Structure 1
């Protein structure tokens, strides 16, 4: 997106460097990353960075409202999904923006989705480090994955502070469903290595009264004090085969990092509550008094879906009329991604996730890192980008 830097990067790129970069990532934890990692990071100008910060501030002004919980109580599609002992702030917030062009032709972010749930906080740091290691000669001085002068070391210290704190790391678990089978398993291994915590399948979590524990390698009981939850509820609800002693609705003596209820509160359900230059028009489908006549300018999204499943980008009135559960859907104005990343063939579009964290010491939610997705398909996602190059997961380096 910054032409002189992009030209230098592309001119110095080679498949040999890229193969060495991937081999290094896969060898770090002796684990082959199953998703596509892009051939390039993204370089973001100071002007675009400022717009992204402003967009995040606009959205956080709504999330920080005193009545936000009241506004999002309808996000729980079933009372049985509510988890006890909810805290006051979401520990993790992810804001996904498509990079578009405004009426003047300037780059601007538009919100696609948001979630109150952690993603690849440790893998993204690893990814940025490996881009610098293998392509550092063409990554300019004065560009960083992090904002506000935060260094990579500062970032890792902050994550440790918020996930482990003063707790014995053995008593902190990263909870997932069959973690070794998840596409994001590399992040679990990175997290466990950095923090010394246990990566645990929910089926291995045991319960006695209000106490949760697991058995370590010596078959000794280890009481769980904190749960860094990585379970996506859409998947959990589909896995009726799982035999567990623990239910999320149980009253247990643990601290959630972060609390599962924010998965629902900060989600697609939040979109219609947001307004502004950086947010597309969004409506609860069952509350629409009139279906828009220009449906070609809208997408239809299930409020509850896993990894983008069920999103309809070619919406028709017949499709809407055929839905029996309109309360489960969102109508959202289409966002026109701009193909702004010059590659070896056609330009790529990009989406940036601004990764935020609530700092318990400052009591503020801060932008701490980012995740980029590059795409040449109709949508961002693996099935739309098969057999394409210079697409996939990446990270952004911001101009300071």
Structure 2
């Protein structure tokens, strides 16, 4: 998006160096990326960087409200309410579309947010690979302002491991070896020395959790939680009916499962301002907008774009039996913001915040970018296109 840097990058792009980048990701992590990695990073000019930071700060004001738990009391399905909830979400993830303002400048618009981890390990590996194999100018940063690789790793350790021993901290997932995010799990294990554990491996002794590796019983005192509880329940028979995690265990969660629901699409109707599209709970709209095609329908309890209706009709709305679990959000028009050799691409930028127990406020730690040339943005889409997929932003601070 920084025109001179973009032009120079496109001119100097080498398919061979891109292939070397992909090979390095697999070699260093030990896992081949299960999603498409874009040929290019995204270069964010200072004006857009400042707008992204401002938009993030405005949204954090809602997320960190003293009454946030009261505000989101209806967000947690009774079936998935887990005891032992802590006072804060250790992770806050905010997705912005890159759009054009009325004056033609680039500006962010809120798409979604979540109180759940993202690819904190892999994105650092990816940014380093872009630097080594492509022309990323010095002076542009992928990390939050003031962070370097050392302080970033320390921030992750404080957030994920906290005060517990790394050997008693686990990254917990449902069938992790089958997840598209396995490469991130491998990066996290390497960075922090914490094992990746499937929920089927967990065992309990009273309120204590443990798992066994190489014939040794290993206690669990802290969980880096990557489990989507709906997935867990749907796959319970396949997992051999593992223990029920909705018990009051003597364990710290990072983040606690309830924050997945509290900091989610549920908050979109409560966020207002120039960076926030209008949004309503579907059951609270007395009359549907006449131009319904200018809105999108989103189920509250889904992820990775599943169930989203991009061009809803009154018939689509009429079919919804649980309107309280859906929101209607004003459609956002993505800008064709990133010039590539095979045509312009749309871009979404994810700001990834950590909020360790010893920090007074969330800290911008990392980012993730996604490039698309189709209707949908996620890395599972546009598989037949090039210069699209998962990427990393480099900010001009």
Say yes or no: TM over 0.5: yes
SS in 2 for 1:7: helix
Deviation at 1:93, TM superposition (A): 0.6
The TM-score, its normalising length taken from structure 2, stands at: 0.97
What displacement does 1:30 show? 2.5
Q: Distance in 1 between matches of 2:242 and 2:112?
A: 33
Shift of 1:246: 2.5
- Which residue number in structure 2 is paired with residue 96 of structure 1? 95
Q: Which residue of 2 aligns with 1:205?
A: 202
Aligned partner of 1:112 in structure 2 is 111
Q: 1:176-228: CA deviations, max 9, x gaps?
A: 011011000001111111111110000000001000001121x1211101000
Tell me if 1:228 matches 2:224: yes
* In structure 2, C-alpha distance between the alignment counterparts of 1:170 and 1:233, rounded to whole Å: 24
Whether the 8 Å CA contact 1:205–1:244 is kept in 2: the answer is no
Measure, in 2, the Cα distance between the counterparts of 1:63 and 1:183: 28
CA shift for structure 1 position 280:
0.5
For 1:303, the equivalent position in structure 2 comes to 300
- 352-361 or 104-113, larger mean C-alpha shift: 352-361
1:192 matched to 2:189? The reply is yes
Q: Shift of the alpha carbon at 1:383?
A: 5.3
How far is the alpha carbon of 1:18 from its aligned partner? 0.4
Secondary structure at the counterpart of residue 373 of structure 1: strand
The CA deviation at 1:130 is: 0.5
Contact 2:80 2:246 in 1 (8 A): yes
**CA deviation after TM superposition for structure 1 residue 31, in Å:** 1.6
Q: 1: distance between equivalents of 2:380 and 2:189?
A: 30
RMSD: 1.2
Aligned-partner SS, 1:374: strand
Q: Which residue of 2 aligns with 1:331?
A: 328
Q: Matched residues in 2 for 1:357 and 1:244: separation?
A: 33
**Contact 2:278–2:330 at 8 Å: present in 1 too?**
yes
Contact map agreement 2:236 2:242 (CA 8 A) in 1 = no
- The answer to which of 204-213 and 373-382 deviates more is 373-382
Q: CA deviation at 1:349?
A: 0.4
Question: Where in structure 1 are there 5+ consecutive unaligned residues?
Answer: none
Contact preservation (8 Å) 1:235, 1:306: no
Structure 1 length as normaliser, TM-score?
Answer: 0.97
- Between the aligned partners of 1:197 and 1:375, the Cα distance in structure 2 is 34
Corresponding position: 1:125 with 2:124: yes
Structure 1 counterpart of 2:176: 179
User: Aligned-pair distance for 1:361?
Assistant: 2.4
